[in-house]
Amino acid sequence: MPIPSDVATPLKSLDYFKQAYGLRVDDLKSQREAGKKVVGTFCLFVPDEIIYAAGADRVVLCGGKEDTISIGEQYLPRNVCPLIKSSLGSIVSSCCGEAAACPHFGQVDAVIGEATCDGKKKMYELLPRFIPTYVIDLPQKPDTKAALQYYLSELGEFSEYIEQLTGNLITEERLREEIVSANEMRRLMKRLFEYRKRSASPITGLEVLQVTQRQFFLSQEQLKTGVSRLCDELETCTTGHSGPRIMISGCPISAGNVKVPSIIEERGAVIVVEESCTGTRAFDELVDESKPPMEALAERYLKIPCSCMTPNDRRIERILSLAKEYKVDGVVHYTLQSCHSYNIERYRVQQALREAGLPMLAIETDYSASDVEQIRVRVDAFLEMIS
Ligand code: BJ8
């Protein structure tokens, strides 16, 4: 079944994002030749503002490609989440001069990891034989005062590491500038998502993913230009996509992997919001520009409602409020195989949605095509139920 659409022409401004990636890789190469350091990250808990304030650049290395999983499995057990296996496989492949990984993997001087899930923590222990690696520790109970103090001290140590890597001091002024710039970007993303609240969203979930996945590779300037153009185009767009309104909530949908959102929209629904790190979690909260910058960063980043935190009530509250704001008809809880924290949290999400009278479909999957038909059948049944 085709995506129901009254849109006469595809969104032209999305072409910018398709072209920007190649330009970005060339730019990273020339920046590194000129002495700039580039770091690779895996998680929203690593504040970009600190990296940019030290004069470094960053790309996110979360792997969404299936091709590099078999390389990752040479080092990791098979029953580890595909994102971790694909990421490690991409790093190994790019360090060994093979071509299986996306080109940005080969453009990093160091990896900045974070102590979130067990799989990633242990994967970071394998990285130093391929690439210099630094890991930021994280408190697990984010709402305590001690957690804030601890994370603040970890960010302080991380700042020292990145200063040493780049040879540049992070001044308070530079940090403030980067906070203002990152907030500007977050506001732009909020503006983009606002258009999806229309009764017929002028943009599909798959189109939004072209932006939210690429936000992790492009430069801040590229992203601002691209999202501004897209918002301007959407502002004047008078047509849109109709069908059951779906929220996706759960694990990130990394670039290279759009299996589940493709099936949802191919079967006639419209994804109107994603409660995930490739969705609202990346831009929901602004950094308080009136506070001392490092404290403001620590406060903002600790609010990210990741399932690695306990208790993670903030995520449940956010799902319920997003469901209202975007008038969703149903939620697809999307998890990757062996992602214990999101798979376990599914029960609480389902209970909360049930109490709110909202139907939920749980899909646990990997990057292979082996379950496509089965997911199609389940999505069809779900859409029929909520239509
Ligand atoms: S803030 S969601 S980016 S940790 S899917 S690797 S959790 S086993 S990616 Fe994440 Fe940061 Fe949280 Fe966001 Fe582990 Fe789960 Fe795999 Fe995951």
CB 232 within 8 A of CB 224: no
Whose C-alpha lies nearest to ligand 1, atom 14?
Answer: 117
Residue 98 reports pLDDT greater than 80: no
The verdict on the CB of residue 46 being under 6 Å from ligand 1 is no
The verdict on the CB of residue 84 being under 6 Å from ligand 1 is yes
Pair of tokens at residue 304? 């990210």
Q: Residue 51 C-alpha to ligand 1 middle, in angstroms? A: 20
Instruction: Give the pLDDT mean for 277-300.
Output: 98
pLDDT given for residue 9 in this prediction: 57
Helix (H) or strand (E) holding 186: helix 172-194
pLDDT given for residue 364 in this prediction: 98
pLDDT given for residue 237 in this prediction: 95
Instruction: Give the pLDDT mean for 182-197.
Output: 98
pLDDT given for residue 88 in this prediction: 95
Q: Residue 48 C-alpha to ligand 1 middle, in angstroms? A: 17
DSSP string computed for 55-103: T-EEEE-----STTHHHHTTTS-TTS-HHHHHHHHHHHHHHTT-SSS-G
Say which amino acid occupies 295: E
Residue 14 reports pLDDT greater than 60: yes
DSSP string computed for 330-347: EEEEEEETT-HHHHHHHH
Q: Which residue has the higher pLDDT, 363 or 96?
A: 363
The verdict on the CB of residue 308 being under 6 Å from ligand 1 is yes
Reduced to 3 states, what is the DSSP secondary structure of residue 272? strand
Where b means 16+ CB within 10 Å and e means fewer, 159-196 reads: bebbbebbeeebeeebbbebbebbbebbebbeebbebb
Kindly calculate the radius of gyration of the chain based on its CA atoms and give it in whole angstroms: 20
What does the alpha-carbon distance between residue 30 and residue 1 come to, in Å, rounded to a whole number? 45
The verdict on the CB of residue 76 being under 6 Å from ligand 1 is no
Where b means 16+ CB within 10 Å and e means fewer, 126-147 reads: ebeebbebbbbebbeebeeeeb
pLDDT given for residue 101 in this prediction: 78
The verdict on the CB of residue 277 being under 6 Å from ligand 1 is yes
The verdict on the CB of residue 301 being under 6 Å from ligand 1 is no
Reduced to 3 states, what is the DSSP secondary structure of residue 40? strand
DSSP string computed for 4-20: P---SS--TTHHHHHHH
The model's pTM: 0.95
What does the alpha-carbon distance between residue 226 and residue 211 come to, in Å, rounded to a whole number? 8
The verdict on the CB of residue 306 being under 6 Å from ligand 1 is yes
The pLDDT > 90 percentage for the chain reads 91
Residue 71 reports pLDDT greater than 80: yes
Whose C-alpha lies nearest to ligand 1, atom 7?
Answer: 117
pLDDT given for residue 131 in this prediction: 95
Please write the tens of the pLDDT for every residue from 157-178: 999 999 999 999 999 999 999 9
Instruction: Give the pLDDT mean for 143-153.
Output: 97
Residue 8 reports pLDDT greater than 80: no
